[in-house]
Chain A
Amino acid sequence: MYVNYMKTIKERYLKLGYQPYRWFHAGEDPAPFTPLYKKIEECRLGLLSTSGAYSLGQSAYHYKDDSSLRSIEKNCSTEDIRFSHITENYLENPRKDPNCILPLGQLLRMEKEGKIGELADQVFSCMGGIYSQRKVLEDIAPNVYSRFLSQEVDVALLVPM
């Protein structure tokens, strides 16, 4: 059995008297699909994590619908990766080993071994606990898209948290 997070968190919030968190529901809207025209080993791969990762020297996230984006150098030492996310309880292990949620080590190894063409020079993170879907659509999505465009990525890996 998989954990039903939406039901669990909704019930928790209800007990606490909070407004329910509204997850995005695609409904009947079919998923768009862009086929891959290259093999993964020829692709430049972009990465977006919603774990609230930032690197030392950057600002952390705030917890009131922060829709800002951080650009982290792909060669950034894992010792300089930090996290701030509204549900900090999920960050215990990522704070010890960022590769749990921000797979820099794995992707750099795959780049070296030729399993992917390359990892784009910077990877991106935002703080995924946002109550405003409008902000996601009007701020985060276009911002991520224009960054990926300027990096000329072929494919994008998204790691939601």
Chain B
Amino acid sequence: MVARYLEERGIPTLCLGSAHDILLAGQAPRSVFLDYPLGHSCGKPFNEVNQYDVLTKALEIFEAADKPGHIEVLELDWGSEDWKIQASSTAASDTRQPRDTSPQFQYPEDRDAAIESGAVKA
């Protein structure tokens, strides 16, 4: 939605994502799909070579893309496909966090830092 909004107003965009069906539904102007588990659209953790490769390939596609709505698939392998079993399981329990309006800090100390900077009221 945001990509389309920006593009309509003259900013070329590229979406780099790891959920093929969601990219397909959203029909962004330019999309690159990387078949990695969600959370890794920019590469494998602590693997600079792989991360750099993903971004380099994505930006090459950015420049070359000329078919609006087309999804280009990166030919990169996560390795094992075991993660897909869990990601496709409908039996899993609810993985969402409770929905309320309190900020959900990663670490308790983050709250202190945010209070200190004035971003959050004590």
Cβ B1 vs Cβ A102 within 8 A: no
Query: A159 CA to B114 CA in the complex, in Å?
Result: 25
Query: A92 CA to B45 CA in the complex, in Å?
Result: 10
Q: B37 to chain A: which residues have CB within 8 Å?
A: 90
Beyond A93-B39, A156-B6, whether A57 also contacts B107 by CB under 8 A is no
CB distance from B73 to the nearest CB of A (A): 9
CB distance from B1 to the nearest CB of A (A): 5
**Mask: chain B, 83-109; 1 = CB below 8 Å from A; 0 = not:** 010011111111111111111111100
Count of chain A to chain B residue pairs whose CB atoms are closer than 8 Å in the complex: 265
Q: Which of B32-74 contact A (CB under 8 A)?
A: 33, 35, 37-46, 48, 51-52, 54-56, 58-60, 62-63, 66, 68-69
Cβ B63 vs Cβ A141 within 8 A: no
With CB as the reference atom, state the residue of chain B lying closest to A62: B101
Which of the four size classes fits the interface of chain B?
Answer: 35 or more
Query: A92 CA to B15 CA in the complex, in Å?
Result: 22
Contact among B1, B91, B92, B102 with A24 in the assembled complex (CB-CB below 8 Å): B1
With CB as the reference atom, state the residue of chain A lying closest to B59: A40
Cβ A31 vs Cβ B25 within 8 A: no
Query: A109 CA to B49 CA in the complex, in Å?
Result: 12
Cβ B103 vs Cβ A59 within 8 A: yes
Number of A residues with CB within 8 Å of any CB on chain B: 88
With CB as the reference atom, state the residue of chain B lying closest to A89: B95
Cβ A57 vs Cβ B116 within 8 A: yes
**Mask: chain A, 78-107; 1 = CB below 8 Å from B; 0 = not:** 000011101111111111110111110111
**Mask: chain A, 121-140; 1 = CB below 8 Å from B; 0 = not:** 00000000100010011001
Query: A24 CA to B2 CA in the complex, in Å?
Result: 11
Cβ A61 vs Cβ B97 within 8 A: no
Cβ A103 vs Cβ B55 within 8 A: yes
Q: B59 to chain A: which residues have CB within 8 Å?
A: 40, 110, 115-116, 157
Query: A110 CA to B42 CA in the complex, in Å?
Result: 14
Q: A137 to chain B: which residues have CB within 8 Å?
A: 1, 5
Known: A31-B68, A82-B106, A106-B51. 11 other contacts (CB 8 A): A25-B25, A30-B68, A34-B12, A59-B103, A84-B104, A87-B95, A137-B5, A141-B5, A141-B6, A142-B5, A155-B12
- Of the A-B pairs whose beta carbons lie under 8 Å apart in the complex, a sample of 7, sorted by A's number, is A2-B33, A31-B4, A40-B59, A64-B101, A88-B95, A141-B6, A148-B6
